[in-house]
Chain A
Amino acid sequence: MSFAADRVFRSLSDPTRRALFERLSRGGELTVSALTASAGVSQPAVSKHLGVLKRAGLVNDRRDGRETHYRARPEGLAPLTGWIVHYGAFWRDRLDRLESLLQGMDR
């Protein structure tokens, strides 16, 4: 798996970050305080999560006075959309099934 895909995967594997990204994908541009109101974690925690999403290329930020506005970058998901990533997820799932089957097979 490519480095970029790895980073996108890791940043979205956290449920709080995934919720933030999904919220931004639906809600256009939002401030940190607006995101905090619905995130269920503290504002510093939200800012930290947004920083991870930004480094993964999944969000953009814009300073406006005291507020920072965030916006989703759907194109940041591009590393996840190639065939290699698709098949990587597919085969790992099938190999899990193979292992379960082998476990239950008689000699």
Chain B
Amino acid sequence: MMTDQGTRSLVIERELPFPADRVWRALTDPVLLAEWLMANDFVAQVGHRFNFRAAPQPHWNGVTDCEVLALEPGRRIAYRWDPTGADAASGLRTVVTWTLTPTPRGVMLRFEQSGFRPQDERSVAGARYGWDRFLGGLERVAAGLDD
């Protein structure tokens, strides 16, 4: 997706057969967030600064700098998602936005990570991850391309 600033977004939408309030809890309860995303010190409050932390890997310090930018309880939450350490050198700064829309079956969950510049699409960054690491999950990822 292109925007007028010339940046691109990654968008993933999934309809989930669960009540919206349950999905909202999984997105905003720090204990639940840690279970499916990463360890964190998240608080659902605009302006709150926090980190997501994963175990460091050879080319990734595992720490992401975040700040809650927008909050509409039960409907939408947005936070800064900025890599730190060596990854910050690429200048990559993004915003992650989660939006919930009730549907007859449950809820449509829309994920958007915005702010990718043209140079982020084919940057040296990914090369550090080694293409062989990608190949492990490739079949699963390819199977999801039609999402």
Contacts and interface: CB of A to CB of B under 8 A. Distances in A.
Interface of A: 1-2, 6, 9-10, 12-13, 15, 18, 74, 77-89, 91-95, 97-103, 105, 107
B135 interface: yes
A77 B122 contact: no
B112 to A, nearest CB: 10
Given A18-B135, A78-B122, A92 B141 contact: yes
Contacts of A85: 126, 134
A91 B126 contact: no
A88 B129 CA distance: 14
B11 to A, nearest CB: 10
A92 B125 contact: no
Given A83-B120, A93-B140, A98-B36, 19 more contacts: A12-B135, A74-B131, A80-B131, A81-B122, A82-B122, A82-B126, A83-B123, A83-B125, A85-B134, A86-B125, A86-B126, A87-B10, A88-B10, A88-B12, A92-B144, A94-B37, A97-B35, A98-B26, A105-B32
Contacts of B113: 87, 91
A99 B22 CA distance: 11
A97 B19 CA distance: 17
Chain B interface size, under 10 / 10 to 19 / 20 to 34 / 35 or more: 35 or more
B142 interface: yes
B88 to A, nearest CB: 12
B56 interface: no
Contacts of B35: 97, 101
B103 to A, nearest CB: 15
A11 to B, nearest CB: 9
B118 to A, nearest CB: 10
Contacts of A95: 12, 14, 109, 111
B10 A77 contact: no
A73 B106 CA distance: 46
B12 A91 contact: yes
29 contacts: A9-B138, A9-B141, A12-B142, A13-B139, A13-B142, A74-B131, A81-B123, A81-B126, A81-B127, A82-B125, A82-B126, A83-B116, A84-B8, A84-B121, A86-B125, A86-B126, A87-B10, A87-B113, A88-B10, A89-B137, A91-B12, A92-B147, A95-B14, A99-B14, A100-B36, A102-B23, A102-B26, A103-B18, A105-B18
